[in-house]
Amino acid sequence: MTYGIQNERSDLRAHVCPVVRRVYVFPTEEGQRIIKTGKWRRTAGYQKGVDGPTAMGYLVPPFAICRCIALEVRDVAWDAVRFSDEDDTTTKGHKAVLLVENMIRAGLFPLPYVIHECETELAKAVQIDGDDIVVLTGANRVHIQVKCDYPGGDKTLGGTGNLFLQVQERNPLKKV
């Protein structure tokens, strides 16, 4: 199925990279723009227990993406989520969303036009919908697509040196 960054309608992307313990955030439109350049290598992605590729995407160094920032989150936040390489892709995705949601609630995630609200109002303002987080900031909605890019991120920290910008996927295990 052809689904990926190229036809997403999110405002921001958050690539959660547990190996390097960083969250890379950039405007979705910048990720869409960079894959159109043809400059980056297209490659297959795989899931444990599945024969053949389950995704196609581009390997792009984080800082080749305009306005990409790397957020360093305290170890206690990572430890609370308990990422494991043994987790299936669905579990990794849920954990990535939980980490980003916790960052938003703690004021550690860069949101455009955020109005500082009391904790109760913020709890009502954050909505989780699959891999998307929607934050209501006054009259604005900020749609965040969260991806667990497990080995991605800065090579000097032990990552692959890239983010995987997915453009196709298949779900043979029918996981949500």
Question: Tens digits of per-residue pLDDT, 64-75?
Answer: 999 999 999 999
Q: Of 57, 8, 26, 21, which Cα lies nearest the Cα of 164?
A: 57
Q: Quick one: average pLDDT of 81-93? A: 92
- Of 119 and 19, the structure prediction assigns the larger pLDDT to 19
* pLDDT above 90 for 47: no
Tally the C-alpha atoms within 13 A of residue 82's C-alpha that lie toward its C-beta.
3
Q: How confident is the model at residue 124 (pLDDT cuts 50, 70, 90)?
A: very low
Q: From CA 48, how far away is CA 78, in angstroms rounded?
A: 23
Q: How confident is the model at residue 117 (pLDDT cuts 50, 70, 90)?
A: very low
3-class SS shares of the chain: helix, strand, coil, % to 5: 30, 30, 40
- Of 122 and 44, the structure prediction assigns the larger pLDDT to 44
* pLDDT above 90 for 37: yes
Q: Quick one: average pLDDT of 66-91? A: 94
Instruction: Looking at 26-159, list the stretches that DSSP marks H as alpha helix, in order from N- to C-terminal side.
Output: 28-36, 75-81, 89-105, 119-125
pLDDT computed for residue 122 by the predictor: 45
* pLDDT above 80 for 90: yes
What's the mean per-residue pLDDT of the chain? 85
pLDDT computed for residue 99 by the predictor: 96
Q: From CA 111, how far away is CA 27, in angstroms rounded?
A: 11
Minimum mean pLDDT range among 46-50, 68-72, 109-113: 109-113
